[in-house]
Amino acid sequence: MTASLGRRVAAEAVGTAALVAVVVGSGIQATGLSRDVGVQLLANSLATVFGLGVLITLLGPVSGAHFNPVVSLAAYLTGRRTGGGLTLRELTAYIPVQIVGAVGGAVLADAMFAQPLVKWSSHDRFAAHLWLGEVVATAGLVLLIFGLNRTGRMHHAPVAVASFIGAAYWFTSSTSFANPAVTIGRAFTDTFAGIAPGSVAPFIAAQLAGAAVGLGLLVVLFGRSAPAETEAVVPHGESALAAPSAH
């Protein structure tokens, strides 16, 4: 039986909060254990890969495990042509709770490590090459999620999406935020994974541009529609809404 909208919204809030708690918490832990930035990034990326894979596996059957506004938006846009995906009502319910969950996850991570609960990040990420990295990371994420859908390989999503995010930590200049909600949440913590508030808007603009590029590549590589289009990544119940997130 398909989960009610209330349960799906709760799953999106909890999942996004847990994802950000993993990203921020592992960053704090890594900086406490090593002064080597490479080791810190390795620890942060590994924790994110494992955490994301678990969250997609656990909550995918409930909400589709988006945890990411650009994924939800892409699910809505693709579903408009096929009758599947998210409805406008579901989209407007998912996005606010993803953002609130992301902020809550950052606060939770800070609390677990005795950091100030809310302290704006001083980690400036305002640079054109970082924005390009976000375009690439988000385009790849959207293409992967909806490409899996088009080829009927949704069951690979937990491993494939988590693996892509882990790789993108290292091959993109921005370390692959690829998620507006997570970007906003990470502005609330002045720790390793933080992003200065002044850097948030350009990152989100780049992520939206990347989502558009990803959907364009989807059409080029797989065509405009397919029978499996209603199932964007992890099915929940009898109908599948979309796909998992990014960090």
Delimit the domains of the chain by residue range. 5-230
Q: Is the pTM of this model over 0.85?
A: yes
Cβ atoms 19, 165 nearer than 8 A: no
pLDDT value, residue 244 = 56
pLDDT value, residue 82 = 67
Phi-psi region of 226 (alpha: psi -120 to 50; beta: other; left: phi over 0): beta
Q: Closest Cα partner for 184 from 109, 90, 105, 131?
A: 105
Cα dihedral 47, 50, 52, 55 sign: negative
For the chain, percent of residues with pLDDT exceeding 70: 89
Using DSSP's 3-state secondary structure scheme, residue 81 falls into helix
Find the farthest-apart pair of alpha carbons in the chain and give their distance in angstroms, rounded.
51
pLDDT value, residue 237 = 39
For domain 5-230, give its CATH number from 2.60.40.3500, 3.40.309.10, 1.20.1080.10, 1.20.120.1750: 1.20.1080.10
Other CB atoms within a 10 A radius of the CB of residue 31 amount to: 18
Using 50 as the pLDDT threshold, list the residues of the chain that sit under it: 1, 227-243
pLDDT value, residue 228 = 41
Backbone angles phi, psi at 231, to 5 degrees: -110, 95
